[in-house]
Amino acid sequence: MKRPAAPGQLKHWVIIEQPVACKPADPLTDEPQCWQTVTKCWAAVRPVSAKEIFAAGGFVGQNDVAVTVRYDPSLDDMTHHWRLWWQNKKLGVAGVLNTNARDKWLKILTSCSEDSIRLKNPDFDEPLHKVVNVIMPELT
């Protein structure tokens, strides 16, 4: 059986965030989604698979990534609503495994779509195609 990760394999810096309720600006609109950083930690990141889907005349690419971090009690409540940031890419959590149920390592299974990159401003996390539509609508 392969070991989850050795301390020397934790070479990637990841940010783990959970959704929190925001105070809506307009009572007629839906409540906006805000994010709170739970932890920033070192991780072992390993690509698992890549998918290319052609649908409705468009292309969608998705990469599945396994992220292994040291166990932290603050991550006990992690669900598929949480997300990770790694190398300016937004990774949506698909599942969490407490390896061997020994509270040593957490293996977080994630997926990343091609359009989910974080721009220079860390507070702005819109997908790139939405940014282009706002800035230059004539291109779409």
Give the start-to-end residue ranges of the domains of the chain.
8-23+32-139
**Reported CATH class of domain 8-23+32-139:** mainly beta
| Among 9-13, 60-64, 66-70, the least confident range | 60-64
Question: Shortest CA distance to 82 belongs to which of 122, 22, 37, 118?
Answer: 37
Q: How far apart are CA 50 and CA 64, in angstroms?
A: 6
Longest dimension (CA), the chain: 55
Q: Tell me, what DSSP letter sits at residue 133?
A: H
The Cα-based distances of 73 to 85, 98, 116 in angstroms read 19, 11, 28
Answer whether 0.95 is exceeded by the pTM: no
Q: Which of 140 and 93 is assigned the larger pLDDT?
A: 93
Over range 95-121, report the average pLDDT: 76
pLDDT of residue 133: 53
pLDDT of residue 5: 62
Please tell me the number of Cα atoms within 13 Å of 25 on its side-chain side: 3
